[in-house]
Structure 1
């Protein structure tokens, strides 16, 4: 029953969104179709196409280089290629807006070297463009493709590559004809994850001047106070998400293979000569440098200058506490829901419980703006109903219980990241033999006692890893936080967004640096897992 309630809870925002979209005024939809949706949809499709192509090229190429070849610092680059995951897209966009400013240091040095005196004489192409947005997002999101593709390359049997070599294929030929076709399912999964993050983005797209569907939802709701119109745009975005998931499944429909029953021998990296090895090192260093090193150095420099000038603002301390508290609450609720769903699926292995599990995971595929609108309507109804009851009982007004306390934001976090919780806990449960369950039942243990004395203690590592990942994602989540936060409630992400929108980049550097430092935690976990898989 609890798993069914969580599944219904996960479906509630989508049902509320459909109701809001259908109940809007008749004149809204024609206006959106004529003036908003064509441009926003075209920009979104262009962005998805560019990010999907570039992340696929960078992630797949980097994964093959560090797996198939041995070159200087290869072991270090294996985990360094994960570092851009620690930096949200909106922080990288915020950093490059200042780094590449026409009167900034970078362009100033280039003009000095080339002998120009003024930005009017020479300036680089404006990063506020579709190509700039595609490049910035790809430099941050390529690790999704890198992780899944590298895992596939590492598990492929070495004899497949060696047989292709004996038939006259070069290493590149073996990559193109053998390794790449076998890795297509992993590449499709990685690209789809990157595109989901692209659809969820609001900060980078708005900073770089690209009006996507997500940005249009926020603008329609906040700037024009048109919730019905925002709901209709959100429903259009949800249709695009469904099509994206269906496309990813279609791309993998026949892509599978089986290895022999014996443990396959892994591919031994080919030792490259020094010259080619340095070129390979340069190739894998470029995305790390532009996706992490330059933005991180900029944030450290800006934060240090700001602290030297005025010290650490009390507002930053307050916003850090707000971020930690609200993220911890969202993490706790997501873990609780994931624990219930995963344990129900383990206790009762049926199609019904599996359906509940799949429904509970739908929130991760829904962008934060869409989820926020879907949560707002039922939460508002509850707040109004509670206030009416309170007024009838006491004669006074209670105000907004769920929206005003931040509970609505916690609900959004839990729904959005329940998939991480459920997946992590299920992976921990899978390592526990089912014979322990049977032994506990024969000794008269109830399901709750089994959960408390067997499953949670034996899965604590997986639960802790899931908790860290969820906590960091909650800290970085911008769209849902912008739309559902209480009045006068700022987190590090919303503070950064506000300062960058006003153009006061130096005031946001400390908040951005704190988010990046916390974002290093899941990167450390992933790199440790990668080393332990050897």
Structure 2
């Protein structure tokens, strides 16, 4: 039964579409601009010289990060979901913590530790008596493989979270049936548990691929040229917005192909499971070498991805505390916090608008607004930045010309040169997180509650305020916190669109890193981690209480 609770509410029906058009307009403008002529010939020059190399590096980066993330995430997800061993309860939530550290901060730490002047190579030279780099071989961290390793350590939790949930939701009876038919535990895992988790694997790897494609700071710091760095360079160094739009369109095409292949591979997959004992009730008790193997692998991964970077940042932050604690740091921290709060609040309003539109006026149009408003999260930050820049630059030019023609003074770059464009870009990128959180929360609220409220004389908006809002409070708080975390960490969009004399913690850290002043970057980097870690723990506690 459809919940057509609002009649003649034209404004409410138009508002979600207006919001959706705002969120997808940068992508549309980007595609239109990519077909325009390039008077400087920059794109043709790139096409003839380095574009193939950039594309190959991007492809290798994505495939490498996907593969290594799977190697990291799959075993630990199985261990904590289906096995019983010491410290499992700690590891099941601690293995998610690397999400709180941006990949470029992990890259800073490992570069400092593993470079020629780092403590590890200094120790080796002291012990072995070596004097020069030519006296011994040590793998170089600033390579494509180094970028793959760092991104995998930072991004594997996406797949871990989905796989752990998939394993916990599976019927343990199926696994036990395979064992009773003579399959070894390893064979039963590959023949039963892993195929049943295929959807979670596909979604997790897709998220990791999107994040890898959109990463700028890590690959740029490691001097690995990808399509993302090409977008950044063509805009800031060559000043060619058209060329940046053309490269961004190639990245969008790659994303469309990636998502289409993932959906096509699962087009005929249907998995139905009978109720019964779950893996939670049938956990294996690991003993001997199996217990120590699970402990060793899980804790080494956690140390490498989270504990070591965090402690290294703490050490440098304390060592250079007085030099790093400046008025500028407080100002940039304040900039980051209030910008993230504004974006999180607006993203929540957008999510509530489109989700309640779908709930009150269900149908194809409502579902379309949900999907379109979530497109931006799949688009890399550099691409979003270029897409947002195009329409608002044209808007500034048009408004200024109109004012001058009518005898008024121009307003300058009111839209494209202010914080307005940065907020819009963040909303395009992160509104999908809030939309998804509210959507999942509303899905658990029975429509019969809305009908009961209406039968008691409450109108639609009273029903939303008195019935729906109290039931989705956790989802609303989760949406705000998740968008806040992502906005605090975002770097590529801020680098391209921030106004003059405006810095965030992310861009502040990047300046120090670019100047090889890693010690001075430690304190602001640690603040970014803490700003993400504390809300992340709050979200995790909320999710635990809801289960």
TM-score, normalization by structure 2: 0.93
1:365 corresponds to 2:378 = yes
- TM-superposed CA distance for 1:264, in Å, is 5.0
CA distance change for structure 1 residues 321 and 392 in 2, over 3 Å: closer, same or farther?
farther
Q: Deviations over 1:368-422 (max 9, x none)?
A: 1111111111111222333345556674332222233301111111111111111
What are the residue-to-residue correspondences of 1:58-457 with 2, within 5 Å?
Answer: 58-260=72-274, 266-308=280-322, 310=323, 312-391=325-404, 395-457=408-470
Q: Deviations over 1:206-234 (max 9, x none)?
A: 00111110111001101111111111000
Counterpart position of 2:63: 49
Count of matched residue positions in the alignment of Structure 1 and Structure 2: 533
In 2, Cα distance between equivalents of 1:168 and 1:359: 49
CA distance change for structure 1 residues 114 and 529 in 2, over 3 Å: closer, same or farther?
farther
Provide structure 2 residue ranges, at least 5 long, that are not aligned to the other structure.
Answer: 1-13
CA distance change for structure 1 residues 277 and 263 in 2, over 3 Å: closer, same or farther?
closer
In 1, Cα distance between equivalents of 2:300 and 2:213: 25
Q: Deviations over 1:264-312 (max 9, x none)?
A: 574522112244312210111122111111111111111111114x251
Counterpart position of 1:483: 496
Provide structure 1 residue ranges, at least 5 long, that are not aligned to the other structure.
Answer: none
In 1, Cα distance between equivalents of 2:241 and 2:527: 33
CA contact (8 A) 1:82 1:523 kept: no
* Equivalent of residue 505 in structure 2, options 488, 492, 497: 492
In 1, Cα distance between equivalents of 2:505 and 2:529: 11
3-state SS, counterpart of residue 402 of structure 1: coil
In 1, Cα distance between equivalents of 2:320 and 2:279: 53
3-state SS, counterpart of residue 509 of structure 2: helix
- TM-superposed CA distance for 1:108, in Å, is 1.0
* Equivalent of residue 467 in structure 1, options 480, 488, 494: 480
Q: Deviations over 1:411-466 (max 9, x none)?
A: 11111111111111112222322122223333443333332333223211110111
TM-score, normalization by structure 1: 0.95
In 1, Cα distance between equivalents of 2:191 and 2:316: 47
- TM-superposed CA distance for 1:115, in Å, is 3.6
In 1, Cα distance between equivalents of 2:544 and 2:471: 22
- TM-superposed CA distance for 1:57, in Å, is 1.5
- TM-superposed CA distance for 1:101, in Å, is 1.6
CA contact (8 A) 1:468 1:521 kept: no
Q: Which runs of 4+ in 1 moved over 6 A?
A: none
CA contact (8 A) 1:182 1:256 kept: no
CA RMSD of aligned residues (A): 1.9
In 2, Cα distance between equivalents of 1:362 and 1:331: 17
Counterpart position of 1:13: 26
